[in-house]
Structure formats: C-alpha cells, structure tokens
Amino acid sequence: PGERLILGVESSCDETGLALVALPEAGAPVLLAHALHSQIDMHQAYGGVVPELASRDHIRRVVPLARQVLSEAGRRIDEIDVVAFTRGPGLAGALLVGAGMACALGVAIDRPLLGVHHLEGHLLSPFLSADPPEFPFVALLVSGGHTQLMRVDGVGRYTLLGETVDDAAGEAFDKSAKLMGLPYPGGPHLARLAEEGRADAFELPRPMLHSGNHDFSFAGLKTAVRTHLVRQGWLDRPDALADPANHAALADLAASAQTAIVEVLLKKSLGALKATGLKRLVVAGGVGANRQLRSQLDQACGRRGVRVHYPELHLCTDNGAMIALAAAMRLQTGQAVPTREPSFDV
Ligand code: KG4
Ligand code: ZN
C-alpha cells in the first residue's frame, strides 16, 4: 500500500535507458526522471549495431545512469520498491547487462524484479504523454525490429492482427538508407533527405498492400532501391552517392521510398481500424517519429473520426521510461507479480 517506486532498465539494443516511475495508490503512474545514453555514434562507423560493442558500452553506462535518475528524482536507492528491466526481445549480450544489473540491485536492496517485454514498453509509451489514449485501441508498432498491428483491449490484453513477414518498417528505412550511403541509423537521415525530393519520382513497390489481411512485407522495397542504384551505377560507390550532382536524384529516391513505406503503414492501419470498428489508433516505436507518417495518419484518421495517439517524440525510440511504465501498469492492474528470480527470454 502507498506509493510504489519502480526503476526501469532498458538495454535491449543500442541505447541504455534508466527511469524512475512512481505508482500512486490511486491514479496514473508518474514519470519522475529518466536518462538515456545512445550508442549511435559508436556504431556509426560500422554501419550498424555491433552486438559485442553494445554489451560492453551498456556495462559502462548502466550504473552512472541509475545514479543520475535517482539524483534527479531526489530519491534514495533503498526507496525503490520494484526493479523492472527489459527481458527481451533484443541482443542477448545487451539484455544480459540490464538483467544482471537489475538482479544485483534487487539482491542488494532486497526488492523483487519484474521482466518487461520490450514491445509492451513501446506499446504503452503513449500513456506517458499529455494526452494518453483510452482502451480499446488499435496499435501500430513500428520499430527497427518489429512491425505489427494489434488490437489492445487493456493492459496485457493484446491480439495480434498482423505483422511483417520479412523486414520491419524501420529496417526498410535503414537498409534503403544504407544503400544510399546515408549514416546509421538511416531512418531519420532518409526522412530528412526525402523532404527535398519528389515522392512521385520513382515507382517503388508497395508489397501486400492488397493482400486482404493485416500483414506487411518490406523486403521488396529494399531490393527495388538497390536495383535502382545498380541501374544508375551508384551501388557501393560512395563517391557517386556523395557527389552533389546526384543529390537531387537521391533525394527523389528517398522521397519515393519513404512514401512507399508510409503508404503501406497508412493503408494497413486504416484496414485494421475498419476491421475492428475501433476509433482510436496508437502509434509507437522508432518509426512513429516519422513526420510524413504522422501527418498522413493524422489527416486520414481525422477524416474518419479516429483519434491518433503518439508517444512524446523523445520516447518513440528505446528508453527506460517505457519499461518502468509498463511494469507500473502491470502492477497496477494486478497482472504481474514481481519475483526474486526473474524470467528472462533472449
Ligand atoms: O523503437 P526503436 O528505437 O528500436 C527498436 O526497438 O527497433 O526504433 C528504431 C528504428 C530505426 O530503424 C530508425 O531508423 C527508425 O526507428 N526511426 C525512423 C525515424 N526515427 C527513427 N524511421 C523513419 N523516420 C524517422 N524519423
Ligand atoms: Zn524498441
């Protein structure tokens, strides 16, 4: 009874995220503090996440970040009631750092642990925004590793409507961007370049747009981008890709690729809303930060009387706040019992 304090630890990929959430006896969880260290700069030279380097960097960051959130929230370590951590999915070595740190802390302060599913963190992250959604809703989960449409009836009541059969939407952004010589992670870079280009410049595939179900496929798009670059003679030629003379054509390609991805995400989301008859859409995960996706969803949903909810921009990509929040919401609804020996799936 009384307020419970939850520490959240996220380390599934290339960001170390720590957060403190207070769960009052009645009412919504409150984010007290969160801190993040992104490894993007470190992995950039390799064009993608290097798992071994990621794990080692999490070890370096996790304790200082934990101290930071405690100090920002003005709380002592022994005031923590539950230690929540990302139990998966993610890179094994990276996950182990967060899980190991959480276990050690749990033992040290004699408090139980709660493993949180990474995607549930993303899914519930809009509840930290100023305008939180109400259940039930359709969720479009678009990250670097996942693309799913879900029907969400409450905390822990998730029905998968459809998902990608190959690449995730974020992967489609990242792989296309990499082919075009843009830095890692390519999504935001491709989006920026796309703003200078013409979206109808190139005809790119929209796989499974009319598949009649809620599944996605993005592998063909990456192949189409590749084919186009081969035809231009630009594939694996950094000099050509960086040549200012080719900038406009690359921007056109970026705009065409982004539009293809966004159109598929938009149409499939509308399909899921129609099939479920629901009037609320939650968009979560890194690709949810994409401006074209947001504006097209807002327009199309506005016309249909559908409310769209997003996490705050800085909570779209991986962070500890969503992990602490998901744990808090599970505790609040009595759907999870923290334990001394946590479950862990890699
Ligand atoms: O949710 P997230 O941080 O990590 C995973 O759990 O995968 O998502 C990262 C993904 C990357 O693929 C990144 O390129 C993409 O989100 N992303 C974007 C944008 N910002 C991040 N994609 C398109 N437009 C953006 N503005
Ligand atoms: Zn994520």
**Residue 149 and residue 295 share a domain:** yes
Q: Are 51 and 94 in contact (CB under 8 A)?
A: yes
Has residue 344 been placed in a domain? no
143 within ligand 1 shell (Cβ under 6 A) = yes
Q: How far is the CA of 242 from the centre of ligand 2 (A)?
A: 30
Give me the mean pLDDT over the 166-179 stretch.
97
Q: In whole angstroms, what is the distance from residue 214 CA to residue 170 CA?
A: 18
Has residue 96 been placed in a domain? yes
SS3 of 26, please? coil
Has residue 338 been placed in a domain? no
SS3 of 177, please? helix
Whole-number average pLDDT of the chain? 96
Which has the closest alpha carbon to 308: 288, 326, 330?
288
- φ and ψ of 243, to 5 deg: -65, 120
Q: Is the pLDDT of residue 346 over 60?
A: no
Has residue 346 been placed in a domain? no
Q: Are 158 and 143 in contact (CB under 8 A)?
A: no
The predicted pLDDT at position 345 comes to: 61
The predicted pLDDT at position 13 comes to: 96
The predicted pLDDT at position 342 comes to: 74
188 within ligand 1 shell (Cβ under 6 A) = yes
**Residue 274 and residue 173 share a domain:** yes
Give me the mean pLDDT over the 250-263 stretch.
98
CATH number for 179: 3.30.420.40
**Residue 301 and residue 154 share a domain:** yes
pLDDT in tens, 20-72: 999 999 999 999 999 999 999 999 999 899 999 999 999 999 999 999 999 99
pLDDT in tens, 108-137: 999 999 999 999 999 999 999 999 999 999
CB-facing half-sphere around the CA of 176: CA atoms within 13 A: 37
pTM: 0.94
The predicted pLDDT at position 344 comes to: 65
Q: How far is the CA of 287 from the centre of ligand 2 (A)?
A: 10
C-alpha distance from residue 44 to each of 37, 188, 338 (Å): 15, 14, 37
**Residue 156 and residue 93 share a domain:** no
ipTM (interface pTM): 0.98
C-alpha distance from residue 256 to each of 120, 168, 262 (Å): 31, 18, 10
Q: How far is the CA of 173 from the centre of ligand 1 (A)?
A: 8
Q: In whole angstroms, what is the distance from residue 133 CA to residue 280 CA?
A: 8
Ramachandran region, residue 88 (left: φ > 0; alpha: ψ -120 to 50; beta: rest): left
- Interhelix angle 186-194/169-179, nearest 10 degrees: 70
The atom of ligand 1 lying closest to the CA of 146 is 7
Q: Is the pLDDT of residue 155 over 60?
A: yes
The atom of ligand 1 lying closest to the CA of 118 is 6
pLDDT in tens, 309-344: 999 999 999 999 999 999 999 999 999 889 888 776
Has residue 17 been placed in a domain? yes
**Residue 163 and residue 65 share a domain:** no
pLDDT in tens, 43-54: 999 989 999 999
Give me the mean pLDDT over the 260-282 stretch.
98
**Residue 297 and residue 193 share a domain:** yes
SS3 of 209, please? coil
- Interhelix angle 247-276/219-232, nearest 10 degrees: 160
**Residue 33 and residue 101 share a domain:** yes
Q: Are 142 and 172 in contact (CB under 8 A)?
A: no
145 a known binding residue?
Answer: yes
Residue 52: exposure state from Cβ atoms within 10 A (0-12, 13-18, ≥19): exposed
The predicted pLDDT at position 222 comes to: 95
**Residue 150 and residue 81 share a domain:** no
Which has the closest alpha carbon to 198: 263, 247, 265, 251?
251
Has residue 29 been placed in a domain? yes
**Residue 111 and residue 92 share a domain:** yes
Q: How far is the CA of 203 from the centre of ligand 2 (A)?
A: 30
- Cis omega (within 30 of 0) on the bond before 238? no
What is the percentage of the chain residues whose pLDDT exceeds 90? 95
Which has the closest alpha carbon to 20: 79, 64, 60?
79
Has residue 94 been placed in a domain? yes
Has residue 162 been placed in a domain? yes
**Residue 270 and residue 227 share a domain:** yes
pLDDT in tens, 181-215: 999 999 999 999 999 999 999 999 999 999 999 99
What is the percentage of the chain residues whose pLDDT exceeds 70? 99
- φ and ψ of 207, to 5 deg: -60, 145
- Domain extent at residue 108: 4-125+317-332
* Number of domains making up the chain: 2
Q: In whole angstroms, what is the distance from residue 280 CA to residue 134 CA?
A: 8
The predicted pLDDT at position 341 comes to: 81
**Residue 245 and residue 99 share a domain:** no
Q: Angle 334-280-90 (CA atoms, 0-180°, nearest 5)?
A: 60
What residue owns the CA closest to ligand 1's atom 7? 144
Within the chain, strands assigned E span 4-10, 15-23, 30-38, 82-88, 113-117, 137-142, 147-154, 157-163, 280-284, 307-309
Can you name the residues that pair with 30 across neighbouring β-strands? 22
**Residue 297 and residue 169 share a domain:** yes
170 within ligand 1 shell (Cβ under 6 A) = yes
